[in-house]
Amino acid sequence: MKLRNNARREGTVVVVVAISLIAVMGIVALSIDGGFLMDKRRQAQCVADAAALAAADDLYYNWWTGNGLDISGGPAKTAAKAVAAANGYVDGQNGCTVTVNIPPLSGPFTGVAGHTEVIISATQTRYFSKLFGSADITYGARAVSRGKRSSIKNGIIVLDPSGSPSLNGGGNSTVSVTGAPVIVNSTAVGAIFENGGGSGGILMATEWDTKGTATTTGGGQIIGPFVSTDPIPDPLANLPVPDPTTMTEQSKNKTQISGNNTTHLSPGVYVGGISITGQGSVMMDPGIYYMKGGGFSYGGQGNVVGNGVMIYNAPTSNSDSINLTGNGNVTLTPPTSGPYQGITFFQDRTSTTPVNIAGSGSGALVMTGTFYAASANLKVTGNGVNDVIGSQYISYDLTLGGNGSFGVNWTANNTPGTRDILLVE
């Protein structure tokens, strides 16, 4: 019997379609669950990033206390886990783990202080992919952040871009800047000037960075190597000013201190400023002193002592200045934590009111921290022997002089730093 070539084979298509549907359903199942998993993975990465940055913020805030490591009580680690929990990733619940390592235990920043590693692990329930198994799918994310204060390593920064001079030395003083270079932004001829006072005046620094030039007269000397350096922006330009509405108002009129008694001052807002005269001593408790007009002046014979203080000057007229010209001993140190760490004097950065700090010779000046007056002339003169007048000057223009010797001794612990908070992995 002869068979026909076009004989029908019933049921073949059904079998092929059935087998194909299994494969198609498998691909669809993997695609849908895979999409869910990718979405969850992105969510976890965003949360890990946010948690790492929260820890970095805390490490920055407590930098001088913890030196880049979590301080007692683990606030940085707590902050990271709190952010993770607020976004649905609670450590130890529903198969989720949130691990915070300060410093990191893996990667290129292993063991490096100031860095935080956050690792999130969680599980995703299977939906259509239960065709291939019933166990939940594990996914995770990892982030590493940096939170530290980067030192502003300049003993003096003069911001005036064209002054001639913008840094002006004079008299018979010897001024030594140690620990960090001096940078003068002016590109002018004679940007740095030293006018000796007969027996000569000396400006000494480990390095002078400027595109301008230096000149001397009258036996003056400028000692130290010169390096051609581009101008830099104000490194504290983004530092917020203190908010007086959050502070205690200590006076409604100018605070005038005179006589022979010892006076204690507390931080807060001083409407009309503070004036210190007479022979009595003044003790300033730690904190921020906000001069709301009136300035801060000292012209007495008594001692002024303030550890952990910052004086903020908000002038309402050109006479509302910071003016220290007294004959007693002055000891001032800046805050050691918080946003104003390392700053002793901070004048409204838009104010051109001059700042004047002068040693008398009869009293000792021991002041550390940064003197900051971004739009004003800062004048510092010394008439004593080996006074310490600040750790760093940042001003629009700078005048140095007197008939004694004093030092500007830069150290990282006594000066502010820039905020360095970012993701590095």
Digit-coded pLDDT (tens) for 252-291: 999 999 989 999 999 999 999 999 998 999 999 999 999 9
| Lowest mean per-residue pLDDT among 42-46, 173-177, 363-367, 406-410 | 363-367
Share of the chain residues as helix, strand and coil, in percent rounded to the nearest 5 = 20, 40, 45
**What pLDDT score does 126 carry?**
65
Is it the case that residue 3 has pLDDT exceeding 60?
A: no
- Rounded CA-CA distance 46/48 in Å is 6
Q: How far apart are the first and last CA of the chain?
A: 78
Q: Are 61 and 337 in contact (CB under 8 A)?
A: yes
Burial class (CB in 10 A: 0-12, 13-18, 19+), 155: buried
Report the sign of the C-alpha dihedral through residues 162, 163, 164, 168, in that order.
negative
Instruction: Compute the C-alpha angle 86/92/97, nearest 5°.
Output: 80
Pairing of strands 309-314, 343-347: parallel
- Overall residue count recorded for the chain in this entry: 425
Give the Cβ contact number of residue 260 at 10 Å. 10
Ranges of each domain in the chain:
15-151, 156-421
Q: Check residues 419 and 194 and name the one with the higher pLDDT.
A: 194
H or E element that contains 27: helix 12-61
CB within 8 Å of 296: residues ≥ 6 apart: 273, 274, 289, 311, 313, 322, 323
Nearest to 216, CA basis, from 188, 194, 191, 186: 194
Q: Check residues 407 and 185 and name the one with the higher pLDDT.
A: 185
Q: How confident is the model at residue 396 (pLDDT cuts 50, 70, 90)?
A: very high
Over residues 105-128, the pLDDT tens digits come to 999 999 999 999 999 998 877 655
Q: What is the dihedral of CA 313, 178, 235, 58, to 10 degrees?
A: -90
Q: Is 221 left (phi over 0), alpha (psi -120 to 50) or beta?
A: beta
- Identity of residue 348: D
Q: Are 40 and 123 in contact (CB under 8 A)?
A: no
- Rounded CA-CA distance 340/322 in Å is 18
Is it the case that residue 9 has pLDDT exceeding 60?
A: no
Give the Cβ contact number of residue 128 at 10 Å. 15
- Rounded CA-CA distance 336/27 in Å is 61
